[in-house]
Chain A
Amino acid sequence: MSALATPTRSRRTPSRADAAVFKAELALFRREPGSLFWIMVFPTGLFVVLGTIPVFREVGEAIPGMRLIDVYVPIAILTSLLMASVQAMPPVITGYREQGILRRMSTTPVRPATVLGAQMALHGIAALVSAALTITVGALAFDVPLPKQGFGYVLALALSVCAALSLGALLSALSRTSKAANAVGAVAFFPMMFSAGLWMPVQTMPDMLGRIMEVLPFGAASQALSAAGAGDWPSLAHLGALALWTVLLTGAAARWFRWE
Chain B
Amino acid sequence: MAIIEVRDLRKVYGGRAVVDGVSFAVEEGEIFGVLGPNGAGKTTAVECVEGLRVPDSGLVRVAGLDPVADHREVTQLLGAQLQESELQAKLTVREALELYSAFYEKPVDWRPLAERLGLGEKLDSRFGKLSGGQKQRLFIALALIGGPRVVVLDELTTGLDPRARRDTWQLIEEVRASGVTVLLVTHFMEEAQRLCDRIAVIDRGRLAALDTPAGLIGRSASSTVISFTPSRPLDPRELAELPAATSVTTDERDGRVTVNGTDDTVNAVISLLARQHVTAHQLRVVDATLDDAFLHLTGATT
Contact surface of A with B, Cβ cutoff 8 Å: 2-7, 9, 11, 16-17, 19-21, 23-24, 27-28, 31-32, 96, 99-101, 103-104, 106-110
Residues of B within 8 A of A20 (CB): 98-99, 102-103
Q: Given A99-B85, A100-B84, A104-B82 in contact, is the A16-B76 Cβ separation under 8 Å? A: no
Q: Given A5-B68, A107-B75, A109-B76 in contact, is the A27-B85 Cβ separation under 8 Å? A: no
Main secondary structure of the interface of B (DSSP, over half): loop
Residues of A within 8 A of B52 (CB): 4-5, 103, 106-107
Residues of A within 8 A of B287 (CB): none
Q: Given A7-B69, A107-B75 in contact, is the A101-B88 Cβ separation under 8 Å? A: yes
Per-position binary interface string of chain B over residues 71-87, scored 1 when its CB falls under 8 Å from any chain A CB and 0 otherwise: 11001101110101111
B257 to chain A, nearest CB (A): 50
A223 to chain B, nearest CB (A): 38
* B103/A109 in contact, CB under 8 A: yes
* A101/B99 in contact, CB under 8 A: no
Residue in chain B with minimal CB distance to A11: B72
Residues of A within 8 A of B51 (CB): 5, 107
Judged by a CB distance under 8 angstroms, whether B133 is at the interface is no
* B88/A100 in contact, CB under 8 A: no
Contacts A7-B68, A19-B102, A103-B82 supplied; 13 other A-B pairs, CB < 8 Å: A2-B53, A4-B53, A5-B68, A16-B102, A101-B88, A104-B82, A104-B85, A104-B142, A107-B51, A108-B103, A108-B146, A109-B72, A109-B103
* B99/A21 in contact, CB under 8 A: yes
17 A-B pairs with C-beta separation under 8 A: A5-B51, A5-B53, A11-B72, A20-B102, A20-B103, A31-B90, A99-B85, A101-B86, A104-B82, A104-B142, A106-B52, A107-B50, A107-B52, A107-B79, A108-B103, A108-B104, A109-B103
Judged by a CB distance under 8 angstroms, whether B100 is at the interface is yes
- Please, how many angstroms separate the alpha-carbon atoms of A3 and B47 in the complex? 12
Per-position binary interface string of chain B over residues 82-119, scored 1 when its CB falls under 8 Å from any chain A CB and 0 otherwise: 10111110110001001110111100000000000000
- Please, how many angstroms separate the alpha-carbon atoms of A3 and B100 in the complex? 24
- Please, how many angstroms separate the alpha-carbon atoms of A103 and B104 in the complex? 17
Residues of A within 8 A of B80 (CB): 104, 107
Residues of B within 8 A of A7 (CB): 68-69, 71
* B91/A108 in contact, CB under 8 A: no
Judged by a CB distance under 8 angstroms, whether B208 is at the interface is no
* A28/B104 in contact, CB under 8 A: no
Residues of A within 8 A of B78 (CB): 107
* A9/B72 in contact, CB under 8 A: yes
* B82/A100 in contact, CB under 8 A: yes
Residues of A within 8 A of B105 (CB): 109
The 3 closest A-B pairs by CB, nearest first: A100-B85, A20-B102, A99-B86
Residues of A within 8 A of B164 (CB): none
Residues of B within 8 A of A31 (CB): 90
Q: Given A109-B72, A109-B76, A109-B104 in contact, is the A96-B88 Cβ separation under 8 Å? A: yes
Residues of A within 8 A of B100 (CB): 108
Residues of A within 8 A of B75 (CB): 107-109
- Please, how many angstroms separate the alpha-carbon atoms of A101 and B102 in the complex? 16
B276 to chain A, nearest CB (A): 62
Residues of B within 8 A of A23 (CB): 99
- Please, how many angstroms separate the alpha-carbon atoms of A4 and B105 in the complex? 24
Residue in chain A with minimal CB distance to B55: A5
